A and B are shown apart, each in its own frame.
Chain A
């Protein structure tokens, strides 16, 4: 079973969008990766938050990013884990440092555990998990 199948067929815990995070998931459902960007100083931020940590401005846009980045760190989960993820064991989890200097925790789809390397270039892909929620995963470039 591939990781993609596991996500689509098992009862995986999913995000419940809030007032602060809904724009991220609305974009993901359209196949776009968007993050908050400060309208005053231009800095990107993730997780979503009301103010820019650099200049404290509340003005921001949800700006589309390239979706490209590199593996900053990772693990191979071999268990234990939640029952929903057991069919996918062993599976990877990666911290991708996006080109816009945003860290994003996700997984690389269809990549054998022993082929993951630090600094490996990756690109975002979009995996629908429910009618409301599309998860952002990555693939090797």
Chain B
């Protein structure tokens, strides 16, 4: 890889989203199109001028659905990212790569999820739902090694990974609570956030244990909503409607996956996907973690944010817990202000894409918890999956 590769070649020039809610009662297709048209409007680009798309492989609004709804734009680049939330920033890397290579000029990135209670249960259930509730009774895949023993969902797998981090480094409930409380404080300032009630460390500790050591308030919320982002070349971005969020650097790395727990510990943590992403990213960006003005971690579970601080080099290994103490991630005075939208713990769980939209707002200067003179934003996908991360700059 050339050291600069995709550096500063593309920019995010449009963002769009639906309302976020525990129950919108709408299809994923419908929500996707609202967010996509909004992102195009934001950029001042017609949806008919899109020539590239990047989505998750599990996205239900595929290219065919998209073309039918948008009047058949002439796509010449369409890619997808596997591994769920691990790909939250990889989709931006893939879009920027296509633009840097000249394979597309206007690339749409989007995610729509009907995961709120009314979408998972009842009449709209076919729209979304949780994969583990649709498991077959005969398991030929890798899930044959854990589902028969009652390990059926991500939060349980993450609980075991989080427990190991406690065994090795003494990470505490109070440190978990610091993450949840900081992000809730941000959500309280964000009218789009789903969870806006005040939360204290005691409130966190009083929430029910669902899979030790994870309590309910350690987990991301389940919501309905969609998000879209539009990327184009850095040259063209300068002449569009919004202040561009340039993709300063981007990196991806395949590694362990939380569902494959029996092989997750086959490699040293320092050699796993997220730490390698970090090293690649800082090298391409030619900046250090301490240069970042605001960070967006894939906050599906509080202890994984603590691990992410270590994985990406913001804190030494084993010191992510102490890093978050005393409001370490809280706006405006934390050591590293993070997830200023409230994140997936308190704003919405759009598979990380809502965090990326908030990173763009920080670069534009329009966040409800705006970091002063924000020039560099870090955005990462899930750090216990094959994953990626990007640096956005003003």
A binding-site residues for B, Cβ under 8 Å: 11-18, 21, 46-47, 53, 72-82, 85, 88, 91, 93, 95, 102-107, 113, 118, 129, 133, 135, 137
Contacts and interface: CB of A to CB of B under 8 A. Distances in A.
Interface string B137-153: 11110101111111111
Contacts of A81: 150, 152-153, 156
Nearest to A18: B140
A105 B145 contact: yes
Contacts of B149: 93, 105-107, 135, 137
A102 B210 CA distance: 28
Interface of B: 132-133, 135-140, 142, 144-153, 156, 159-161, 163-164, 167, 208-214, 260-266
Contacts, number: 117
A93 B151 contact: yes
B137 A73 contact: no
B262 A46 contact: yes
A93 B161 CA distance: 12
Contact of A82 (B132, B163, B167, B209): B132
B337 to A, nearest CB: 31
A117 B132 CA distance: 28
A93 B145 CA distance: 12
Contacts of A102: 262
Nearest to B130: A80
A104 B137 contact: no
A21 B208 CA distance: 38
Contacts of B164: 72-73, 95
A129 B148 contact: yes
A14 B139 contact: yes
B161 A73 contact: yes
26 contacts: A13-B147, A13-B148, A14-B137, A15-B145, A16-B139, A16-B140, A17-B140, A18-B140, A47-B142, A75-B159, A75-B163, A77-B150, A78-B208, A79-B210, A82-B132, A82-B152, A88-B150, A95-B164, A95-B261, A95-B265, A103-B261, A103-B266, A104-B262, A107-B150, A113-B212, A135-B148
